[in-house]
């Protein structure tokens, strides 16, 4: 028992030291990236982009399942984007409530003949509804196949060069789409994907699909997640972006070049972490091709989303994330520590394995062994004080 407790102590110490050293290494990279973004805020490039006929059109893709309470407001938020040319593609993934009916009634959609390209695999489409005003809206109804299956369907129907993926319960700031396009406008040849920032909507006030008052969540659990999200996006993602090793473009708000997504095979339906797996696969696809590319992070565009406020729901969410992480790491295990995959394979993937996947396991083991060590006198109580 003493040996086991000592081994856990050594392992926990090494884990804590390694994690803090990685944060120390990422800090100057994140600080430099954030400083660069702050200096750019005074520019008027987005007004020029909004007025320019050369600004690329964007298809916004939304997968919805039993979202009758949120989809209409989310749609209003998306259609209110200050962007010159966009379309909205919503996939009702086998909802059992009035998700589709409410959207049809709200925007006067009319039934049309399906016209999918058949470039990706997904469950057969049963109905397609469409309207052209105020922006083109396409509603696709199909049997339930999961979020990845629904997004493959939306990607197959999308008409534009770039696609923006978001959730049916998310609200975008009015300029979010314009701002997330900035890395593309700066470097259209290399940028194949852009990740936006996710903020927590709990306790905030929204009107007509727009956030009008940001508030700190009343729930203690949600408030802790606010700090966690800020650290993850404004620290972690900024740091990894500087190394071109951003390993996740969140499914709640991300932009992709459609042709690259199709060439990479679309979303993988056999995982619960489809956004993480897709981002890793994009790194792999681009490096296997040998071309220069970038998966960027844009901290300014904001997407607001609800987070769990009770321990049961939060635990279920984190278990799903952890399972998706392991599935993605296992599927791309041959990328680990291979020079051909650069910083993503040599640095980012080992970091995900050791600290993101291994962290909860090491911490749980320490929480089990620590009270045992106290009870048997193997841990000095004075160290706790």
pLDDT at 40: 67
Q: At what angle do helices 358-375 and 2-40 cross, to 10 degrees?
A: 140
- CA 296 to mean position of chain CA atoms: 12
Q: Are 161 and 258 in contact (CB under 8 A)?
A: yes
Residue 321 has pLDDT above 80, yes or no: yes
What's the chain's average pLDDT?
89
Locate 26 and state its tokens.
């990422």
Strongest mean pLDDT among 174-188, 275-289, 367-381: 275-289
Nearest to 113 by CA among 102, 126, 104: 126
- Tens of pLDDT along 327-351? 999 999 999 999 999 999 999 999 9
The per-residue pLDDT for 366 is 82
Name the pLDDT band for 286 (thresholds 50, 70, 90): very high
Confidence at residue 240, expressed as pLDDT on a 0 to 100 scale: 94
CA distances from 127 to 45, 58, 130, 133, 350 (A): 41, 23, 10, 20, 44
The percent of residues above 90 in pLDDT, for the chain, comes to 61
28-61 pLDDT, tens digit each:
988 888 787 777 665 555 666 666 667 899 999 9
Q: How many residues does the chain have?
A: 385
Please report which confidence band the pLDDT of residue 383 belongs to, taking 50, 70 and 90 as the band edges.
Answer: low
The CA distance from 175 to 297, in Å, is 16
- Residue 137 region by backbone torsions, left for phi larger than 0, else alpha for psi between -120 and 50, else beta: beta
C-alpha angle 340/344/348, rounded to 5°? 140
Looking at residue 377, what is its pLDDT?
72
Contact 313, 290 (CB under 8 A): no
Instruction: State the pLDDT at residue 50.
Output: 64
269: which 2 tokens? 């339906």
Lowest mean pLDDT among 86-100, 199-213, 370-384: 370-384
Task: Pick the closest to residue 180 from 55, 265, 268 (CA basis).
Answer: 55
Say if residues 71 and 90 touch (Cβ distance below 8 Å): yes
């Amino acid at each position: 028992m003493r040996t086991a407790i000592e081994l856990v102590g050594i392992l926990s110490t090494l884990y804590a030291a390694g994690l803090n050293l990685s944060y120390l290494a990422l800090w100057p990279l994140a600080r430099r990236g954030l400083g660069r973004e702050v200096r750019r805020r005074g520019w008027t490039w987005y007004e020029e982009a909004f007025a320019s006929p050369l600004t690329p059109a964007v298809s916004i893709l939304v997968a919805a399942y039993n979202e009758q309470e949120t989809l209409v407001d989310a749609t209003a938020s998306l259609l209110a984007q200050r962007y010159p040319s966009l379309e909205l593609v919503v996939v009702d993934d086998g909802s059992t409530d009035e998700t589709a009916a409410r959207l049809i009634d709200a925007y006067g959609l009319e039934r049309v003949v399906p016209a999918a390209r058949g470039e990706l695999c997904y469950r057969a489409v049963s109905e397609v509804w469409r309207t052209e005003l105020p922006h083109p809206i396409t509603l696709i109804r199909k049997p339930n196949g999961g979020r990845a299956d629904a997004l493959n369907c939306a990607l197959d129907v999308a008409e534009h060069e770039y696609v923006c993926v978001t959730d049916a319960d998310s609200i975008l700031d009015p300029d979010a789409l314009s701002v997330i396009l900035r890395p593309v406008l700066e470097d259209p040849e290399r940028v194949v994907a852009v990740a936006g920032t996710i903020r927590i909507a709990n306790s905030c006030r929204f009107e007509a699909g727009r956030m009008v008052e940001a508030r700190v969540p009343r729930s203690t659990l949600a408030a802790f997640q606010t700090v966690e999200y800020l650290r993850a996006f404004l620290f972690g993602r900024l740091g990894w972006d500087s190394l071109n090793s951003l390993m996740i473009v969140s499914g709640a708000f991300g932009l992709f070049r459609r042709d690259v997504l199709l060439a990479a095979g679309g979303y993988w339906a056999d995982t619960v972490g489809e956004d993480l797996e897709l981002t890793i696969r994009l790194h792999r696809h681009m490096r296997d091709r040998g071309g220069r590319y970038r998966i960027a992070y844009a901290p300014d565009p904001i997407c607001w989303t609800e987070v769990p406020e009770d321990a049961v729901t939060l635990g279920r969410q984190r278990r799903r994330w952890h399972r998706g992480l392991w599935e993605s790491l296992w599927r791309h295990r041959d990328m680990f520590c291979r020079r051909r995959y650069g910083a993503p394979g040599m640095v980012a993937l080992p970091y995900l394995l050791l600290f993101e996947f291994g962290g909860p396991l090491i911490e749980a083991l320490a929480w089990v062994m620590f009270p045992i060590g106290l009870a048997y006198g193997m841990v000095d109580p004075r160290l706790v004080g």
